[in-house]
Structure 1
Amino acid sequence: MTSHGFILYGPPAAGKDTVTRALRDISPDYRLFSRLKVGSGKSAGYRMGTAEQLAELEAAGDVIYLNRRYGNTYVIDRPGMDEAFMTGIPVVHLGQVEGINALIKGYPADWAVVLLWCSREATASRSAGRGDADTADRLSAWDATQVDVDAHPGQAWDLTVDTGAVGPAEAARLINDLLSRDRAGGSR
């Protein structure tokens, strides 16, 4: 079982999914952590759940982090995280600094935190280009992410990647290099 994991933080359409796929091209050990999603809409990349399942996780103290956005509830849960670490190197997508801190505190591991960033204009273009029906909501989330970053000037990033300037393969290589340095005894 590995104790290494990656947190990819950034606004909508910053490339979290694309970079995660590029990481999988480097090694099949990289695995997207599928958050539990209670609600509707896009199901790809999530474990769809029910309000009853969420209540059971909460009662057992197994909710590490929960947030609500786009009319849905997204959950990082202890059983899901245990499974993710047993099957590879988890890559967790987050859009809130609060979520980063909750995960690091609530699930001790060797976490590397990567800020993937893109301009608001890039979010608008990418969202429209992939056919999102809720681009306006994604732009509101981009605005909230900017406020979140500004509100946490002391947040430590192990790596910052501007996905408007760096392609997915290069971003994945840079992220993979964090793990390689750590395994070689270097520092981040």
Structure 2
Amino acid sequence: MSQGILLYGPPAAGKDTITAALAELDARYVPFARLKIGAGKTQGYRMGTPEQLAALEARGDVIYRNDRYGNIYVVDRPGLDQAMEGGRIPVVHLGQMVGMERVTALYPVLWVRVLLWCSKETTARRSPQRGDTDTAARLAAWDATQADLAAHPRARWELGVDTEATAPREAAERIDAIVRASSPRS
């Protein structure tokens, strides 16, 4: 059975950094490039059009869609299918519990769910360091993520990581150990 990793957390919690550390550990770990309809940062996304989104929606291939920062971000079935080809393990970044629920329900593979967390002050410091020009919006998203998490007290996580206290390589190694332990090939 295929596997995937879901990284949940507020902006600047370390999702990109830990994904890079995972890819360094094992080439099977690949960042999942969400489909993005809008403007701004393009790196790490598959840029799409409103027409492409409408076609995906018409076929029932949108697993999860969220609108944030004036853009639309999509986890789509064809994108996940492609990311999993050849035994690869996609690392999907999410900041909404409904997204976690929809991906695990509508794309049934062995998902390892990881909660990454940092303080709001850390997000405020890291956001401009990574080149964000909309730190105020990132801080609002941090608040929304905290409220979202509090509204889902029964959420199940295979691992929780405080990224202020845990080095990216250590977090990646811990995630990798869980993936290997849950692998049908282990």
Give the TM-score range, shorter chain.
over 0.9
User: Quick one: distance in 1 between partners of 2:50 and 2:174?
Assistant: 38
Which letter maps to 1:15?
G
Show the 5 A alignment for 1:51-90.
Answer: 51-87=50-86, 88-90=88-90
What percent identity do the matched residue pairs reach?
A: 58
Q: 1:184 to 1:55 in 2, by over 3 A?
A: closer
Show the 5 A alignment for 1:116-131.
Answer: 116-131=116-131
User: Quick one: distance in 1 between partners of 2:128 and 2:44?
Assistant: 20
SS of 1:176's partner is helix
Which letter maps to 2:145?
T
SS of 1:5's partner is strand
| Residue of structure 1 in register with 2:111 after alignment | 111
Residues 89-125 of structure 1 deviation map (CA, whole Å, 9 limit, x = unaligned): 0100000000000000110000010000000000000
SS of 1:113's partner is strand
Deviating more after overlay: 126-135 vs 45-54: 126-135
User: Quick one: distance in 2 between partners of 1:72 and 1:173?
Assistant: 33
Which letter maps to 2:41?
K
Q: What's the offset of the Cα at 1:181?
A: 1.4
| Residue of structure 1 in register with 2:167 after alignment | 167
Q: 1:120 to 1:86 in 2, by over 3 A?
A: same
Between the two proteins, the alignment pairs up a number of residues equal to 185
Which letter maps to 2:27?
P
| Residue of structure 2 in register with 1:138 after alignment | 138
User: Quick one: distance in 2 between partners of 1:24 and 1:9?
Assistant: 18
Residues 133-157 of structure 1 deviation map (CA, whole Å, 9 limit, x = unaligned): 1000000000000000000000001
User: Quick one: distance in 2 between partners of 1:185 and 1:78?
Assistant: 24
| Residue of structure 2 in register with 1:99 after alignment | 99
Which letter maps to 1:115?
L
| Residue of structure 2 in register with 1:36 after alignment | 35
Dislocated runs of 4+, deviation >4 Å: none
Which letter maps to 2:56?
L
Give the gaps of 5 or more residues in structure 1.
none
Give the gaps of 5 or more residues in structure 2.
none
Q: 1:57 to 1:185 in 2, by over 3 A?
A: closer
RMSD (Å), alpha carbons: 1.3
